[in-house]
Amino acid sequence: MKINIIDIPKISDPRGNLAVIEKDCIPYPVKRVYYLYDVPSDAFRGGHSHKEQQEFLVALSGSFEVVLDDGKFKKRVMLNKPNKGLLIPSGIWRELDNFSSGAVCLVLASGEFDENDYIRDYIEFQDL
């Protein structure tokens, strides 16, 4: 499964840290930015795959887990550092759960919203 945790360049000084996502930090131009917040700890998000779109997830605050599934193998990844991001290529089923109080998940997507790019049925996903 081609899942990468990418270090986000950061600049540290006595005033705090500054994380920078630019240039070649992620392998595509960002077309859409959105974030998840105030997710109840017993809820989950995601539950889909993309045909073309890639996504880069960052825990800006708090923590959450991402369950990744390529149809053969499943992997669980904890995101809890704002200077590390999870690159999810197309064709990977994802579910986000175990959100801590105050968690914020930033998503940098390679495409604008297109319902036709989503696979929301797990059986259909497995058939592909």
Closest CA to 98 of 79, 112, 113, 115: 79
Half-sphere CA count of 24, side-chain side, radius 13 A: 0
Respond yes or no: is residue 48 known to be catalytic. Answer: yes
Question: How many residues in the chain?
Answer: 128
Give the phi and the psi of residue 115 in degrees, each rounded to 5.
-55, -30
Catalytic residue from among 48, 60, 71, 82: 48
Is 79 within 8 Å of 57 (Cβ atoms)?
yes
Provide the token pair at 11: 């600049």
Which residues are marked as active site? 48
